[in-house]
Amino acid sequence: MEHSKKSIVGAAVWSLVVVVLFCVQVIALGYFAPTAIAKYRKRDGVRLIGFVNVVTGWTGIGWIVCLFWSLCGLAEIY
């Protein structure tokens, strides 16, 4: 009886770990979205946008500024 309780608890812990890791990945993708958009659009100053995103993105306002910056303006045209 005791062995089955441990396996149930172990499975629940691993399920929680998987859910937490998934949530961290989703948050990271959202956090770096302005940089990815700037890179996709071949925007001038992708590195600067990425740097500002990393440094100020956690404030929310910095993230919005980076998103606006990556979406607006001229992109490189090839």
Q: How many CA within 13 A on the CB side of residue 4? A: 1
Question: Along the 78 residues of the chain, how does pLDDT read in single tens digits?
Answer: 455 666 777 788 889 999 999 999 999 999 999 999 999 998 888 999 999 999 999 999 999 999 999 999 665 555
Say if residues 43 and 49 touch (Cβ distance below 8 Å): yes
Provide the domain count of the chain.
2
pLDDT value, residue 48: 94
Q: Does 75 lie in the same domain as 37?
A: yes
Torsion over CA of 5, 6, 9 and 15, rounded to 10 degrees?
-130
Claim: this prediction has a pTM higher than 0.75:
no
Is residue 39 domain-shared with residue 76, that is, in the same domain? yes
Question: Are 15 and 51 within one domain?
Answer: no
Reference 28, options 49, 69, 62, 58; nearest CA is: 58
Shared-domain flag, residues 65 and 50 = yes
For residues 42 and 77, membership in a common domain is answered with: yes
Domain range spanning residue 41?
32-78
Q: Are 59 and 27 in contact (CB under 8 A)?
A: no
Q: Are residues 78 and 51 in the same domain?
A: yes
Domain co-membership, 36 together with 73: yes
